[in-house]
Amino acid sequence: MNQANLIILVLFYSRHGATRKLAELIAQGVESVPGCDARLRTVPAVSTVTEATEPDVPDEGAPYVELDDLAECAGLAVGSPTRFGNMASAMKYFWDGTAAQWLSGALAGKPACVFTSTGSLHGGQESTLLSMMIPLFHHGLMVLGLPYTNPELMTTASGGTPYGASHWSGLDGKKTITEDEKRLAIALGRRLAETAVKLRAIA
Ligand SMILES: Cc1cc2nc3c(=O)[nH]c(=O)nc-3n(C[C@H](O)[C@H](O)[C@H](O)COP(=O)(O)O)c2cc1C
């Protein structure tokens, strides 16, 4: 009997597009694994101006994530631009609305990984990646990094870390994704999807 494809949720926030490009590469890695479909989803911006609102449906790009996406996915990649060495408030705000999923264990036992983009090379990629993992541990997700069997971890002169995929977008945000960053993002998506497939086989 044919099994339904596994859904791997690639959830990201991106203001200027750099983190979105990483999300698309991770989705490419996910879809390189037979039996896995990437589901790209984003979160709305938050504002200190309480009257400011976002449209119900984004004007372009990935749809907004729904809480059902968390229950339906077999694995989860989470990405955010670095903001003062941490995830953007839009992503944190999303997690703060997931108490019901935390209580029900909707994500417990599923594999996960993280990714980020920074304006400066030493502006907090690792701190953002590590702190983005914290709510994932609370949800019971099994967080994956990248092993040094990926040779690009030794050669990269920009982003790409053992804690997750990353990109150095430059102060003007215009640096293109390097070959090393690209390979590592695809490898992370592939590793996430392969792990979800292995976990299904032993469930
Ligand atoms: C409020 C704010 C805080 C930021 N903090 C950092 C930071 O701590 N370190 C850094 O390298 N870049 C920082 N940046 C730059 C962004 O991380 C960078 O431009 C990123 O690539 C944007 O991703 P995006 O194109 O997906 O929005 C900050 C940007 C903003 C607007």
Q: Give 198 or 50, the one with higher predicted confidence.
A: 198
State the pLDDT at residue 193. 98
State the pLDDT at residue 86. 98
CA of 86 to the centre of ligand 1 (A): 9
* The Cα angle at residue 179 between residues 175 and 183, in degrees rounded to 5: 120
Residue nearest to atom 31 of ligand 1 (CA): 83
Q: pLDDT by residue (tens digit) across 51-76? A: 777 777 888 899 999 999 999 999 99
Do the beta carbons of residue 11 and residue 77 sit within 8 Å?
yes
Residue nearest to atom 9 of ligand 1 (CA): 123
Query: 199: closest CA among 35, 69, 46, 39?
Result: 35
Classify residue 192 by its DSSP letter: H
State the pLDDT at residue 1. 57
Any idea where the domains of the chain sit in the sequence? 6-202
Q: Which pTM was predicted?
A: 0.96
CA of 49 to the centre of ligand 1 (A): 20
Q: How many CB atoms lie within 10 A of CB 53?
A: 10
State the pLDDT at residue 56. 78
Residues with C-beta less than 6 Å from any ligand 1 atom: 14-20, 81-85, 117-120, 123-124, 169, 173
Closest atom of ligand 1 to CA, residue 122: 11
Using a pLDDT cut of 90, give the percent of the chain over it.
91
Q: Which helix (H) or strand (E) holds 28?
A: helix 18-31
Q: What is the mean pLDDT of the chain?
A: 96
CA of 104 to the centre of ligand 1 (A): 34
- Distance separating alpha carbons of residues 45 and 33, to the nearest angstrom: 32
Instruction: Tell me the pairing of strands 142-143 and 86-87.
Output: unpaired
Closest atom of ligand 1 to CA, residue 117: 21
Q: pLDDT by residue (tens digit) across 151-175? A: 999 999 999 999 999 999 999 999 9
Question: What's the rounded mean pLDDT across residues 70-84?
Answer: 98
Region of residue 125 (left: phi > 0; alpha: psi -120 to 50; beta: else): alpha
CA of 174 to the centre of ligand 1 (A): 12
Instruction: Tell me the pairing of strands 86-87 and 75-83.
Output: antiparallel
Distant-in-sequence, close-in-space partners of 141: CB < 8 Å, separation ≥ 6? 76, 107, 108, 109, 110, 111, 112
Q: pLDDT by residue (tens digit) across 93-103? A: 999 999 999 99
State the pLDDT at residue 49. 76
Fold classified for 6-202: Rossmann fold (3.40.50)
- Distance separating alpha carbons of residues 143 and 106, to the nearest angstrom: 15
Closest atom of ligand 1 to CA, residue 82: 17
CA of 199 to the centre of ligand 1 (A): 35
